[in-house]
Amino acid sequence: MTGSPYRVTAAQIGNSSGLRLPAAFYRDHPQFQGAPGQVEVLSGNTLLLRLEPQVQADTELEDESLLLGLFLDFLTRQALMGDPGPRSYTEAMAADDDALLAEVEVDDIEPA
């Protein structure tokens, strides 16, 4: 993957000297933002800069894999237990719920 060359300028960074890449470089190649790397001198006026970007989205993939795994485990348990799945809410269920809540008192809570 090659592209247009980017102009590099010298920069003072604390007590060290460094090379500054233009913002366009990072816009075009965001994977290199903050990436550590190495510089190798190839000749008197040629350097090879090798950046080592961190693999992005590893934690996102792990989170997605974990959630997917948990969901599939849930579905497997439901299937193995012979659960018929969702059921319609019936009048009998409503009557049972009403009986359970008949003596429950709810205090009026004013919104904060």
Q: Any idea where the domains of the chain sit in the sequence?
A: 9-51, 55-84
* Predicted local confidence at residue 96, as pLDDT: 93
Cα gap 98→96, rounded to integer Å: 5
Other Cβ atoms less than 10 A from the Cβ of 109: the count is 6
Judge residue 27's burial from the number of C-beta atoms within 10 Å of its C-beta, 0-12 exposed, 13-18 middle, 19 or more buried: exposed
Predicted confidence at residue 77, as pLDDT, reads: 79
Nearest to 39 by CA among 16, 61, 67, 66: 16
- Pairing status of strand 16-20 against strand 9-13: antiparallel
Read off the pLDDT of residues 56-82 as tens digits, 9 standing for 90 and up. 555 566 667 888 888 888 888 777 777
